[in-house]
Amino acid sequence: MRIAIASDHAAIELKAALADWLRDMGHDVTDLGPDTAASVDYPDYGYKLAAALADGTAERGIALCGSGIGISIAVNRHPKARCALVAEPLSAALAREHNDANAIAMGARLIGVEMAKACVTAFLATEFGGDRHQRRVDKLTTPAL
């Protein structure tokens, strides 16, 4: 699977660990940065991840920052991105099954590497449920305001 991964400075170590692990599993991983632990702005990297999902560079995305909150908000600014903040595998699986999420966000200050791997595993292994969920997902892209 083609997976894009991005973080801010607070999650650089988690990003590197997940990227290496995903490559070892045979996935095509695009690391959107940053490359160092120098302070950066998480919206810049969230927007890069959303663009990679929107243009088809990536099928799935992983967004990381200190809490996961800020970068998830940034990714979700794009109408073709559906990024769910997760901290355990059930939420990651439900994000795919019910919401057709194409990205997950996690907080490096709140989750360990092994739990992050468990979340990613559940996210990648779960298919969208369709049916009754499809009309709801359609409303996420075209809201009735």
Tens of pLDDT along the chain (145 residues)?
A: 999 999 999 999 999 999 999 999 999 999 999 999 999 999 999 999 999 999 999 999 999 999 999 999 999 999 899 999 999 999 999 999 998 999 999 999 999 999 999 999 999 999 887 677 777 777 777 766 6
**Burial status of residue 75 (CB atoms within 10 A of its CB: 0-12, 13-18, 19 or more):** buried
Q: What is the pLDDT of residues 69-82, one digit of tens each?
A: 999 999 999 989 99
119 is catalytic: no
Given the residues 27, 78, 98, 133, the one annotated as active site: 98
133 is catalytic: no
Helix axes 89-99, 132-141, angle to 10 degrees: 90
Binding positions for D-ribulose 5-phosphate are 8-9, 66-70, 99, 109, 132, 136
Cβ neighbours of 36 (radius 10 Å): 9
Rounded to the nearest 5 degrees, what angle is found at the Cα of 38, between the Cα atoms of 101 and 64? 15
Provide the β-strand partners of residue 60: 3
Strands (E), 20-116: 28-31, 60-65, 83-85, 103-107
Mean pLDDT, the chain, whole residue set:
94
Provide the β-strand partners of residue 28: 2
Contacts of 119 (CB under 8 A, 6+ apart): 86, 87, 88, 89, 91, 92, 104, 106, 111
Kindly list the structural domains of the chain, giving each domain's residue range(s) and its CATH number in brackets, ordered by start: 2-141 (3.40.1400.10)
Given the residues 65, 78, 119, 133, the one annotated as active site: 65
Binding positions are 8-9, 66-70, 99, 109, 132, 136
